């Protein structure tokens, strides 16, 4: 059985690379570039009883970053609680503090 998951990144090149890598490993991937697309995917999945293996969010996005979006997802009663993986090409001291929030699993 193929595992489904959404990935979120505002950079289309990064999104395409990660999408291709995950599909190569047999995953079914839904992509989103921002908060509204992400929440739409997650709410539609909930309505159709489609469940995801996990959610992958890019940390450095404009408007709402990956940690903020993760908290929105975690606190939305219409979305089941999924493991959340955050990834980023940049890292600063203290960036991973949000991992203390239930629902976040790892930062890459």
**Averaged over 74-91, what is the pLDDT?**
87
Any residues with CB less than 8 A from the CB of 45 and at least 6 apart, and which? 51, 52
Give residue limits of the domains in the chain. Answer: 7-20+33-90
Which pLDDT does position 97 carry in this prediction?
62
**Tokens 């940690």 sit on residue:** 67
Which pLDDT does position 67 carry in this prediction?
84
pLDDT in tens, 4-63: 999 999 999 999 999 999 999 999 999 999 999 999 999 999 999 999 999 999 988 888
């Amino acid at each position: 059985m193929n595992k489904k998951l959404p990935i979120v990144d505002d950079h289309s090149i990064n999104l395409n690379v990660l999408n291709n890598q995950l599909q190569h490993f047999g995953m079914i991937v839904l992509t989103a570039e921002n908060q509204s697309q992400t929440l739409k995917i997650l709410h539609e999945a909930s309505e159709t009883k489609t469940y995801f293996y996990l959610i992958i969010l890019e940390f450095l996005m404009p408007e709402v970053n990956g940690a903020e979006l993760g908290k929105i997802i975690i606190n939305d009663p219409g979305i089941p609680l999924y493991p959340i993986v955050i990834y980023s090409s940049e890292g600063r001291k203290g960036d991973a503090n949000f991992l203390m929030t239930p629902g976040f699993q790892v930062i890459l």
